[in-house]
Amino acid sequence: MASAPPSAHSGSLRIGRVFGVELRVHFSWLIVFALVTWTLATGYFPAYHPDLPAASYWAKALVAALLLFLSILIHEMGHALVALRHGIAIRSITPFIFGGVAQLEKDAGDGDTEFKVAVIGPVVSLVLAALFYLGSAAGAPGSGARGIARYLALINLVLALFNLLPAFPLDGGRVLRGLLWRSYGKARATQVAAGAGTFFAYLLMAAGALRFFGGDGIGGMWYVLIGWFLKDASAGTYQRVRLDETLRGVTVADAMLTEPATLPPDISLAEAAREHFMRSGYGAYPVVRDGRPVGLLGLRDLLQHPPEERESVSVQAAMTPAGEQVVASPREPLLSAMAKMSRPGGGRLLVVDDGRLVGLLTRGSVLRQVRVREHLAS
């Protein structure tokens, strides 16, 4: 489970929607799917069902891998449904190389909600493990269905127990943060949970190194990769929470550039490049007609047209129109505006008040605001 908005869609493919939640699959899951299928077809099922044809092993392995994929989706859907019940919108669910991510629009507002959203995932996996175990017990001895159910009972149990480790950002780390939230506040609770996540990450990497040099190369590398992922995720999530605390109550007006240079919409791209971009070095310009913003022309918009076309193409034809995705209000929380800026091509926002351009918000202006406030708070 994750509460970050940003680039989880990078490298992923949309596969549908359930309960209004977008389902995606990350390309890295294809690697996991292939590895799981290969391992089951060449190891687990031949040991469980000796003397069957190879095609039978591969068919069983394919079914088991698909059901594992479904189990991870159901685990993440548990997070999503509880989050939705508490008014937290869900952007998407994406299985990827180390499990799955339910992308929440925002963090939980209190520790109790954080606890409930986090703990439901392992609970769902434990329920699935119990159901598959009952299925394996009810199946005929030596049957293919029994072997598949037995594997899925084990893997869902492992998934539940691993996620219950108090290592942020695993579910257990979020449970820990939820429990500490009321006593320590969100920032301090996140710091403790992230510290636990970093500790477990280094333990995993150390265990992986021992396994690697002990002869288990593939297993050791997996431990190191998972540990590395946990370490980076713990640090990244804590830094994001620190940023949230630093910018609490800060508005777009506090960080925007006032009186930015502008472009008229009717000049050519060649003139805009020659007289504005090349002279100033700016990466984008608001496009203004009669004092009112009509769009934003970035260097990337300009470069989409080859030099020989730029004399005949106007700024208005190439600009990004002044729609919701590139416009912010000066009274809007800066964190909300930064979420818009995290979208592809959203590095700058027009700041508009009562139809008039009052400023330009850039990543540089946001960074300066963050640095000043961090220095003053230290």
| Active-site residue set | 76
Token pair for 294: 């009509």
Q: In whole angstroms, give the CA distance from residue 57 to residue 44.
A: 9
Sign of CA dihedral 314, 317, 318, 323: positive
Quick check: 363 and 339 in contact, CB under 8 A? no
What are the C-alpha distances in Å from 97 to residues 3, 11, 202, 235? 18, 12, 19, 19
Among candidate residues 299, 277, 278, 292, the one with its CA nearest the CA of residue 348: 299
Q: Where are the beta strands (DSSP E) in the chain?
A: 12-18, 21-26, 90-96, 99-104, 284-289, 292-298, 320-321, 327-328, 348-353, 356-362
Residue written as tokens 């004092």? 291
CA end-to-end span of the chain? 32
Q: How many residues does the chain have?
A: 378
Q: Which residues contact 170 (CB under 8 A, 6 or more apart)?
A: 162, 163, 164, 197, 230
Neighbouring-strand partners of residue 251: 333
Runs of H (alpha helix) within 86-170: 111-138, 144-163
Give the Cβ contact number of residue 149 at 10 Å: 22
Q: In whole angstroms, give the CA distance from residue 299 to residue 318.
A: 10
